[in-house]
Copies of this chain bind each other. A is one copy, B any other.
């Protein structure tokens, strides 16, 4: 039941050396994209709209310049939060809901793997480390 703690590091230095899913999923790219209020609003708008929207349409929902909206959307696209589909002169943006949900659930589960006390879901009972080096400290 508490096999996780057997492989759990005893010092932050040891912990920092361990490589686990949580490191990869705590990648800052997506969080940087979601850390701006205008981008968060645009993403929420796309999610709630439920259909692809053009840059012009989305610019009507924001108080900022059209070019700023276009740049924000490209940031969201590079972070994988939305996807762009160019048809003619119009770019249709849509939220990557499935990808976002998968990423968020995966991060939550990667955190749960390191917290033996969070046994709500069935624990894997295995070490969440992806390497086992740096044992001595």
Contact = CB atoms under 8 A, between A and B. Distances in A.
Interface of A: 4-5, 8-16, 18, 20, 22-23, 26-28, 31-32, 34-37, 40-41, 43-51, 53, 57-58, 60-61, 95, 97-98, 100-101, 104-105, 107-109, 111-112, 114-116, 118, 128
Given A37-B28, A44-B22, A104-B107, A15 B49 contact: yes
A35 B37 contact: no
Nearest to A38: B28
A49 to B, nearest CB: 4
B12 A115 contact: no
Copies of this chain, complex-wide, total 2
A111 B101 contact: yes
Given A101-B109, A105-B108, 5 more contacts: A12-B46, A12-B57, A28-B37, A97-B111, A101-B111
